[in-house]
Amino acid sequence: MSVFKSVTFDVEHGSSHVLRLPNQAEDVFLFDAGRNQFFSPSEYLKNRWNVERVKCLILSHHDNDHIEDLDDLKKIKPHILSTPTVSHDYLLNHYGGSLPQRLQEFLNFAQEYNVPVPSLDDPSYDWGGVQFAMFSHDEGVHFNLNNLSQAVFVKYQGWTILFPGDLERPGWLEHLNNDAFVENLQSVDIFVASHHGRESGYCEEVFEVCRPKLVIVSDKSTSETSVTEKYTRVSQGMNFTNGKRHVLTTRADGAIYMEIDNMGRHKISTRYDYLTK
């Protein structure tokens, strides 16, 4: 029986989430391509999951901690690359006139994707019952690069996971003016905390329409602006063997694994090591 899997890897201050879809091909999706000094999610997928090609990389936004794993990513080169639409001038302006080397390498890599593909919610795809809904702002609306993050809702068998990238409060507020976004937000069960759980990514108004069962934070160590307590208050919490948890963090729990079967039954576990699939 095919099972939907979601993994948030522990890449310290970075972002790397993986989906394995329950379709026949068991396609693998990556949300961002962060890594840490010792661990490459792409290398892990190649060696442990025997992934030869990732089906799709969804880059939330053009920031270093989301593309650090580029070298190993090239070895399991995604068929589809989804990035926010941001002009070269915008990026140059944002980075003060000269692009970081890693970003330039990523842009060179992205140039290889020059054939248009249908959007991920196109019915011609077979994602095994998984649905995607994607939202992003135009660069003219918000200057801050984080606020151009693609926010992606992933839905399967009654569950909705939201990957909002590094959205900050202005970006959230703009999205809340969009009825389709709000409709998706209302159904969120698993909320990946924006901007690594930092204060700047938290938006109180979001939780007037959204009461997630669980919040996931991907970060290295507690920063002064980390708002785990706020997320604890707005999360319903889920029961684990060691008690109810409202927030799981990669810094305290390690990698976070979720499985949903075709009846909607779920299993969530955390591990510090990556020795088992």
Footprint of Fe ion (CB under 5 A):
65, 166
Smallest distance, Fe ion to C-beta of residue 251, A: 14
Q: Which residues pair with 223 in a beta bridge?
A: none
The CA-CA-CA angle for residues 244, 237, 121, to 5°, reads 135
Strand order in the sheet with 214-217: 131-135, 151-156, 159-163, 190-192, 214-217, 247-249
Spatial separation of the C-alpha atoms in residues 22 and 175, rounded to whole Å: 30
21 or 167, CB closer to Fe ion?
A: 167
How big is the chain by its Cα radius of gyration, in Å?
A: 17
18 or 130, CB closer to Fe ion?
A: 18
Smallest distance, Fe ion to C-beta of residue 177, A: 24
12 or 27, CB closer to Fe ion?
A: 12
Give residue 10's identity as a one-letter amino acid code. Answer: D
Smallest distance, Fe ion to C-beta of residue 149, A: 9
195 or 266, CB closer to Fe ion?
A: 195
Smallest distance, Fe ion to C-beta of residue 71, A: 19
Q: Which two tokens stand for residue 195?
A: 């901007």
167 or 260, CB closer to Fe ion?
A: 167
Smallest distance, Fe ion to C-beta of residue 274, A: 21
Neighbouring C-beta atoms of residue 144, cutoff 10 Å: 17
